[in-house]
Amino acid sequence: MRRALILSTLLTVALAACGDDSTASTATSGPVDVAITVSAGVVTVSVGGVAATDHVSVARDAEVHLTVTSDVADEVHLHGYDLSVDLEEGIAGSIDFTADVAGIFEIELEASTLHLIDLEVS
């Protein structure tokens, strides 16, 4: 019985050491790269080069590099943080910021009111 207790304790410690600490890796691995492309009204999103949905989550205090390319001229607006960048047709625009306010924030093309993503900071 004692041997089983010791093995159980060792297994628990080993599993805890292997746990996912995504907050630490996000904070120390450089900016979170969010790329958004708009073509004929279709929005494509990737995070770190991997396809993503229109709901992107980042850790609070993460550095975020947002890049948007659109086939129409418009303004990208990050609500809540009140950051924006003007886009020229086919030319990428970017916003760099520290995600230091928790919540869910819409990013949209302002003039066309096209919803790009919801950015969740937690």
Q: What is the pLDDT along the chain (122 residues), one digit of tens a residue?
A: 433 333 333 333 333 333 333 332 234 468 999 999 999 999 999 999 999 999 999 999 999 999 999 999 999 999 999 999 999 999 999 999 999 999 999 999 999 999 999 999 99
Whose tokens are 């790009």? That residue is 116
Which run of H or E residues covers position 14?
Answer: helix 2-17
Tokens of 64: 């975020």
Confidence (pTM): 0.76
Domain 22-121 top-level CATH class: mainly beta
Q: Where in the chain are the domains?
A: 22-121
